[in-house]
Structure 1
Amino acid sequence: MTPRTEQQPQMSVEEFEQLERHAPETVWLEFINGKVQVKPVPDGDHSEIIAWLQRLCMQQRPELWLHGERGLKTERYRKGRARADGVLVPEGSLKGHGEWSETDQALMVVEVTSHDSDTNQRDRVEKPDGYAAAGIPVYLLIDRDDRTVTVFTHPEDGRYRQQVNAPFGAPVEIPDPVNITLDTDPLKEFVD
């Protein structure tokens, strides 16, 4: 049997979108590297982390908005579909968008690790590459397992060329075009 690749996906993007539209509300699907994946529904701590980040973004950059659980067209040629935990865009940028938005207005995308077996491959490997290939300037990974925050920047040729990693509790600078500073000490209360 031939392994699936981006060149030989499980189905077309159109077939995936139709499947996703008919999935139960309790199931979130993504289409990453040509295969359908089930994204875990966030737990309470996960949701609180996104709310914490929304508050910080509003305080420091009120002209921007961090939208939670936003569908994005990712990867090369926008053949992937990822449901980001957060997408930072200029206010009003998603007006008129359907379920899956182009990434041209996205300044930053955020993922918070979940406690499931796929989080390593999905959040630490596949999504950074898909977001970089889509040209999103900043990928922020809040890793509850490692208790770290990683800022990926400078997307080029489908990879982020720079990454800065800091433990929970350290201040984290998110550079242009975001330009905010995170006091990550509150993240300590959202890990087991």
Structure 2
Amino acid sequence: MTVMAERPTTTGTEPDSFEGLLRTLDELDVPDGYAAEIIRGNIVVSPWSKGYYLDVMELVCEQLRQHVPEGHRVSYGPFLYVFPGVERAYGPDIHVAHRSASRSTGNELDGEALSLVAGLTSASTRDDDLTDKVVTYGKAGVPVYLLLDMQEEQATVFSMPSAKGYEARCTKPFGEKLPIPEPFGCVLDTTGFTAP
């Protein structure tokens, strides 16, 4: 496997099924500082986020925590959510899911348990965050997808999931307030989201 500093990379193997990709991903020895996901039939390895992204993730979690649906929890960290119907597996930066999703001894969590996902773009993941993940999360029925475009310094919230993806979106530049729709029904203050 070749790993490049600013580009996602695939393993170069072609397991015969989504389950085969999941097994390969589970056995993959990913180098420190890299994350792996399944995107469009490939295992994609990309570098972890920049340091200040942690501050942004904590600001988002702090603001959402008091608005999460009952029985759900907001968290960030490397957890893999699986969408077998579309053969995708993502490790979102921030995730709000029903607590029952984590009651497993495996490392593959049910993507249908998600009520919100948030992604912070990087140069290597931005295209997939803006395209493949928007469609996948929407088709899977995830109520809210929050995309923090760290390169353009703007936040977009996608809502009203449908068979085509999301039917609604709202974008604001960092520093402004962004409405987060139900089941959260709150406003996200994006002050402090820009690079130091």
Note whether the superposition's TM-score is higher than 0.5: yes
Report the Cα distance in structure 2 between the residues aligned to 1:72 and 1:62, rounded to whole angstroms: 19
Report the Cα distance in structure 1 between the residues aligned to 2:68 and 2:75, rounded to whole angstroms: 14
Equivalent of residue 62 in structure 2, options 36, 39, 55 = 55
Report the Cα distance in structure 2 between the residues aligned to 1:78 and 1:95, rounded to whole angstroms: 23
Answer with 149-158 or 92-101: which moved more.
92-101
Question: 2:101 touches 2:110 (CA, 8 Å); kept in 1?
Answer: no
Report the Cα distance in structure 2 between the residues aligned to 1:170 and 1:90, rounded to whole angstroms: 29
After superposition, the Cα gap between the structure-2 partners of 1:38 and 1:158, relative to the gap in structure 1 and judged at 3 Å, is farther
Report the Cα distance in structure 1 between the residues aligned to 2:93 and 2:193, rounded to whole angstroms: 16
Q: Deviations over 1:28-49 (max 9, x none)?
A: 2111111221132122112221
Residue 107 (structure 1) aligns with = 115
The one-letter code of the counterpart of 2:166 is Y
Deviation (angstroms), 1:149? 0.5
> Which runs of no fewer than 5 residues in structure 2 stay unpaired?
1-12
Deviation (angstroms), 1:120? 2.9
Superposition TM-score, scaled by structure 2 size:
0.81
Report the Cα distance in structure 1 between the residues aligned to 2:64 and 2:22, rounded to whole angstroms: 31
Equivalent of residue 144 in structure 1, options 146, 150, 154 = 150
Give the 3-state SS of the residue equivalent to 1:104 in structure 2: helix
Deviation (angstroms), 1:111? 0.3
> Which runs of no fewer than 5 residues in structure 1 stay unpaired?
1-8
| CA RMSD after TM alignment | 2.2
Answer with 65-74 or 127-136: which moved more.
65-74
Give the 3-state SS of the residue equivalent to 1:141 in structure 2: strand
Question: 1:70 touches 1:86 (CA, 8 Å); kept in 2?
Answer: no
Deviation (angstroms), 1:59? 3.9
The one-letter code of the counterpart of 2:182 is D
Report the Cα distance in structure 2 between the residues aligned to 1:141 and 1:83, rounded to whole angstroms: 14
Equivalent of residue 84 in structure 1, options 68, 92, 97 = 92
After superposition, the Cα gap between the structure-2 partners of 1:130 and 1:97, relative to the gap in structure 1 and judged at 3 Å, is farther
The one-letter code of the counterpart of 1:48 is D
Report the Cα distance in structure 1 between the residues aligned to 2:101 and 2:88, rounded to whole angstroms: 21
- Provide the identity percentage: 23
Give the 3-state SS of the residue equivalent to 1:127 in structure 2: helix
The one-letter code of the counterpart of 1:149 is A
Residue 5 (structure 1) aligns with = none
Report the Cα distance in structure 1 between the residues aligned to 2:29 and 2:50, rounded to whole angstroms: 18
Question: 1:152 touches 1:164 (CA, 8 Å); kept in 2?
Answer: yes
